[in-house]
Chain A
């Protein structure tokens, strides 16, 4: 077990004892603890949502979400499938622009500036707010060209591309595995390696925020654990927002966790995503304020 993970209580103890609900919850997950996790109760935000609604045509997928994403923190978005986590995440770097009929209302700010303001270039937004997708999607190019792609297309002034590629691959804990085959196709890598390559590719454009949409859902447990270690490493320099359906994962890596749920709209009957509770991960997984959070975390929620 890695040293920065610990279990507040093992299952057996929890079952044997006469426990409070809080301890029971805590026993289900290992909450990451390390020295720098003495966080303020409110994040110092690099990005903020204020009253954000996201629509697909007339369908409101996300309703009235307000929260701040902490600078150099990992924020996890959890909740049942279909509650709008991916939709919200994609609205944070304007990937929703690519979907016909998708529309964002409310304010999404980055360093206090609205990313949906009229004169904002979505390309610049995406260059600063990178994204890693659910299914690894390396280009059918060489490993080297995958990493160099971003700097090349954004016209970044790079004095030495070889150095930059090496640095990005090193930071994504992939360098040792691929340094002898940089010219080979990225499609020859394993799923876990491909996902780390996608992270390297994102790092290579030096974004400030990295969005990850269930980055481990297509990976085996060992590859998952490597990516989780990597996130904990990267958060020293980046702010990370991760969607995950895996609560253990949220507990293991996230500093703060936002729990979403889908509620049926009273008028139309459409299910729309709502933010139920947002707090420090340790708090969410031990003493959640909302009963729905507690039910979901303890598995009582369908």
Chain B
């Protein structure tokens, strides 16, 4: 059992928790993830490590309540326990030698982008961050990004805060003005990462994307997390849990990944509604 040492509501649908898991805390690097089960018989879900406190042996996770399992997790309070917590899984984001980097986060993806920005900042790299949200009330981690970035662009889809538009807007402007980056690192919805990649393509800037497909074991045993890369005209199958989650954006078959991510859409909607109904019954 793994204890929840802290819980913080970041916005109406995004929650941050610190979980006691000393072995994971000792090892986890930016870009890696964990897999957890909330209760006996719960589903296994992957979440990216949003930070670690090595002294207290805790791992920070930030998640959006999108399905039945995250809903169940959101009901857990400080001091309570979750059943399983395993990691760190996947490979860490490759940061060696980067001097000038653009970090682009979308929605809850910003939680994953933040430790990467922090690590780069601490390495002395020049960090430009672009973070995007649907609207002002969904904004998270603004202060953190401000302190780790040399330049910060905040975008909202509806213009309710900062600038209105997609994260690709400031990226395109910077690139067109001759802005140079060693690397663009983007984390967020698949469609956003696809458009970031397309925006960067004419300028030839390397793009790293962080993939988060359906997973079960997270050790390379099931292949459920597989995705297709186009490497020099050849199709190559990779397992996101062990070969990733980071990949070269220019190689990823985003359309296939988006299609695969909807495999259980029906099931998930029903499970989510059931969990909500169950909860309503409990509180009534």
Asked if A and B bind, the verdict is: no
